[in-house]
Homo-oligomer: A and B are copies of this chain.
Amino acid sequence: MFDISTYTKRREQLKKQISKGIALFLGNNESPMNYRANTYRYRQDSTFLYFFGINEPGFAAVIDFESGEEIIFGNDLDIDAIIWTGLRPSIAEKAALCGVKDTRPLNKLESYLSQNANRPVHFLPPYRHDNSLLIEKLLGIKVEFQKNYISVPLIKAVVALRSVKEQAEIEALEEAMKMAWHMHTSGMKMIKPGLYEREIHGVMEGIALSFGGAVSFPIILTVNGETLHNHYHGNKMQAGDLLLIDAGVEAPNHYCTDHTRTYPVSGSYSPKQREIYELVLKANKEAIEMIRPDITFREIHLHAATVIAEGLKDLGLMQGNTKEAVNQGAHALFFPHGLGHMMGLDVHDMEDLGENHVGYDKETPRSSQFGTGFLRFGKKLKEGFVLTVEPGIYFIPALIDKWKNENKFKEFINYDKVESYRTFGGIRIEDDILVTANSHKILGQMIPKEVDEIENILKNQP
């Protein structure tokens, strides 16, 4: 899917953006679980995949912005290793697939950098501790000080490139979407009272693995959708519960998906659940409809917040001037997170490079308000961007109690009414959207999200 010219072109474009020094890219190594040899599933660094395509531990690479030189560092297997792993392509053969001709053993990286010690070395923020230690060894910068020496110009150059998805990347995303559709619809069809959350979780993650991929993040699958950071799957589902499933695949091509649906365990939404569901769905659809180049994503986020606040006012949960309520952030009691984030090789694309570098700029700085401040991406959209749109409404007991005790926003929130929703839970609906030349495209076949559609499917299960 990605040929030599793709990688060569990406590196050429990168070179145009920085004129001095050397870029150092560290690939990821194996990550130990409960002892060194028992490792988690291998995951290469996404930026390393983007520029070099090599999906194996033990690699590093440099790009010299002055000479144009590109070198991949890695070790060929010796005969003893070949006995256990079988014959594998050489480092030179692997490097040739991304158009890099110069390859050297990994232990030459240190001397290479020493020889260039009088020049700036650009490196990206390390997020794995072994790579932090390697940077300390290579560059002499102690782990705790490294955040002060990461290269903002390199971050900005990488973000500029990776943010705009190429045609081949869009195809890779569409390929991943097929797996996501299968994973989500299979999970949905299992829902029934008496089943444990973990039983659906196992089947869904198993499907991602069956395709030769994996999940792009730990699946959220819970009858307690109001607990936003929830990876517990031990509850038995009961009629009357809502089941929130937020799950994505990482396809074998390494591109990610991210969808959320919220289903009624009994097969039909109660009237109260349906009202809130329809409201979240309205926010989801209207937000998607607004996506096009040159609009800021923050504007869309605030529109979704307004739809939610207006709808909650109709239901008697909010009150007063909706515009003012959203301005001040009162909607965040119910919708405390951001509308969405970029997606690509990472499910939160490039989050390792810093959310503000990816999602904000001088023109659109990040808000510090509770709620809108959690929006990961706020800036102007461009053709080729891929974002999630995932509004939600939650009734979070700890947050309700906190605000109520503080008398916070009592002009906008009808706390008496809110009490009657205390055990409601939470609803989120999420899709993945590509920004096109004049508009947008929803990626993948739609996973059912209309009330009637979902109820028809769930009612017709055996």
Which of A33, A41, A129 has the most chain B CB atoms closer than 10 A to its own CB? Answer: A33
Indicate with 1 or 0, residue by residue over A306-322, a CB within 8 angstroms of chain B CB atoms: 00000000000000000
Q: Mark A23-38, 1 if CB is under 8 A from B, else 0.
A: 0000010011111111
Is A268 interfacial (CB-CB < 8 Å)? no
Residues of B contacting A211 in the complex (Cβ-Cβ under 8 angstroms): 198, 202
Q: Is the CB of A85 within 8 A of B230?
A: yes
Residues of B within 8 A of A86 (CB): 224, 227, 230, 398
Q: State whether A398 touches B82 (Cβ < 8 A).
A: yes
Q: Does A246 contact B (CB under 8 A)?
A: no
Query: For residue A84, which residues in chain B have a CB less than 8 angstroms away from its CB?
Result: 227-229
Query: Is A133 part of the contact surface with B, judged by Cβ < 8 Å?
Result: yes
Q: In this complex, which of A34, A79, A128, A210 has the most chain B Cβ atoms within 10 angstroms of its Cβ?
A: A34
Are A402 and B85 closer than 8 Å at their CB atoms? no
Interface of A is mostly: mixed
Specify which of A209, A234, A336 lies most central, judged by the most chain B CB atoms within 10 Å of its CB.
A209
Q: Which residue of chain B has the shortest Cβ distance to A134 in the bound complex?
A: B129
Does A40 belong to the interface (CB within 8 Å)? yes
Size of the chain A interface, CB-CB below 8 angstroms: 64
Given contacts A28-B34, A129-B132, A196-B212, 13 further A-B contacts (CB under 8 A): A31-B40, A34-B46, A35-B348, A84-B229, A85-B229, A86-B227, A86-B230, A128-B129, A198-B210, A198-B211, A199-B210, A205-B206, A212-B234
B143 A133 Cβ-Cβ under 8 A = yes
Query: Closest approach, in angstroms, between the C-beta of A166 and any C-beta of chain B?
Result: 20
Residue of B whose beta carbon sits closest to that of A345 = B34
30 pairs, CB–CB < 8 Å, chain A vs chain B: A28-B34, A31-B40, A32-B127, A35-B127, A35-B348, A37-B351, A38-B217, A41-B218, A79-B402, A83-B396, A84-B228, A84-B229, A85-B227, A85-B229, A86-B230, A87-B398, A128-B129, A129-B129, A129-B132, A132-B133, A196-B212, A198-B210, A199-B210, A201-B210, A202-B207, A202-B211, A203-B206, A205-B209, A206-B206, A206-B209
B contact residues around A201 at 8 Å (CB)? 209-210
